[in-house]
Structure 1
Amino acid sequence: MDYIWLIGLHVAAVTVWIGGMLVAAVLISALDAETAADGPARILRAVSRWDRRVTSPAMGLAWILGLTLVFQGGWGAEPWLATKIAVVVALSALYGRLARALRQLPEPGRPPVSGLLRFSPLAVIAGMIAIVTLVVVKPY
């Protein structure tokens, strides 16, 4: 596959992944245990289903295509890339926490959402700004 097609598919997969993360992050930060237990159960089920069927596979595809681009493009030893990968690992870990919280949100008697997840929309946006800046500017 041509390198430019890999880039296009990688960007598309990242866009779907981050879009799904933002939906989950905003929903989780907006709801508390009491609201989730009796209110928007249908919305939570729909977002959770979307997360499992679309967001999670998009994250996997973004990782596979990104690593393929690193190897095909010979980017392995670049310092900016190491920083980018660190941010991507952090976003992946945050996504794992968001996916788990999304599944647990409608469960009665569960503990409240952690303070960290209440700021997750900001963390997702900050991570994406850092990644795009590193990829475009390649500051070091």
Structure 2
Amino acid sequence: MYIWLIGLHVTAVTLWILGMSAAAILISALDATTAAEEGPARFLRAVGRWERRVTSPAMGLAWLLGITLVVVGGWGFEPWLVAKVVIVTALSALHGTLAAGLRRLGEPGARQVSPLLRFSPLAVIAGAIAIVTLVVVKPY
């Protein structure tokens, strides 16, 4: 049973990170004016639907399965796990900001999103690399 929980957790995390990456790349590529054009607007709506139907539920499932794995595995508060949870929390906050940015750009008369979101693709990739490294290497 434990190995199935790991497999489902990895699948949920993969869907979550892929969805966040798509949103981050799209938001960093568009501004309010470009987002209103027909082609980009259609793509923006599609990514927004994906975010609501797949990315957000995948994040919730990743959290639920992750907590289940900690309890079932009896990991406690190991330092590598605490560091991982801090990074996952930061990625969850970024996910919320990206979801709001998708909605904001998709509205008629779109408002500009934070210029800091231009760096969000890098933040998603760096966070994912850090998490995988912590889980595999368990450096401390």
Does TM-score exceed 0.5, indicating one fold? yes
Aligned residue-pair number: 139
TM-score normalized by structure 2? 0.96
Quick one: which amino acid aligns to residue 37 of structure 1?
A: A
CA–CA separation in structure 1 for the residues paired with 2:107 and 2:115: 18
Identity %: 75
CA–CA separation in structure 1 for the residues paired with 2:46 and 2:116: 24
CA deviation digits over 1:21-54, x for unaligned, max 9? 0000000000001100124111111110011000
TM-score normalized by structure 1? 0.96
Question: Would you identify which runs of 4 or more consecutive aligned residues in structure 1 move more than 2 Å?
Answer: 106-111
CA–CA separation in structure 2 for the residues paired with 1:12 and 1:107: 31
Greater CA drift, 110-119 or 63-72: 110-119
CA–CA separation in structure 2 for the residues paired with 1:134 and 1:106: 36
CA deviation digits over 1:45-93, x for unaligned, max 9? 1110011000110000000000000000011120110000000000000
Conserved? CA contact 2:104–2:113, under 8 Å? no
Name the SS of the counterpart of 2:36 in structure 1: helix
Could you list the runs of 5+ residues in structure 1 that have no partner in the other structure?
Answer: none
Shift of 1:116: 1.6
CA RMSD of the aligned region, Å?
Answer: 1.0
Name the SS of the counterpart of 1:139 in structure 2: coil
